[in-house]
């Protein structure tokens, strides 16, 4: 499943849950203060991986791989794996710099792994 499908499913589940909460409050099955406690708990939950540093590096890596493949297709860079990987890494580092995202050795290693994962997701005739 891609990210858009997951987002749509999450929104539908959230809407159904909200509707159920309203119905339960109106029918006096649960009290309003219980709903407020649930809302407070959800608000205080930690960030998910979808909005943290890993997610940003992963998105940079996906975009970098697509950009590199387009450059190869246009004949602007060589087709060899080393050139493509180095170019993708430079793109990821630049994206992180533009977004003012910290980018040290750990992030560099994670970007390398994410680039490899993004390459594996390319159609076979493109990789």
**Running DSSP on this structure, what letter comes out for residue 30?**
S
Q: pLDDT of 106-127, one tens digit each?
A: 889 999 999 998 998 888 765 5
| CA–CA separation, 93 and 103 (whole Å) | 7
Cα 34 from chain centroid (whole Å):
32
Is the model more confident about 38 or about 94? 94
Neighbours of 101 (CB within 10 A): 15
Structure tokens at 72: 């190869």
- Is the pTM higher than 0.85? no
Domain segments of the chain as ranges: 3-45, 51-121
Is the model more confident about 10 or about 80? 80
């Amino acid at each position: 499943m891609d990210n858009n499908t997951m987002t749509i499913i999450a929104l539908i589940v959230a809407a159904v849950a909200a509707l159920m909460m309203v119905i339960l409050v109106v029918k006096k099955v649960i009290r309003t203060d219980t709903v407020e406690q649930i809302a407070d708990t959800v608000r205080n939950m930690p960030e998910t991986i979808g909005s943290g540093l890993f997610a940003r590096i992963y998105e940079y890596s996906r975009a970098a791989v697509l950009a590199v493949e387009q450059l190869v297709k246009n004949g602007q860079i060589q087709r060899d794996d080393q050139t493509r990987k180095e170019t993708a890494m430079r793109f990821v580092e630049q994206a992180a710099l533009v977004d003012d995202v910290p980018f040290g050795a750990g992030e560099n290693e994670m970007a390398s792994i994410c680039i490899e994962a993004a390459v594996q997701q390319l159609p076979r005739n493109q990789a």
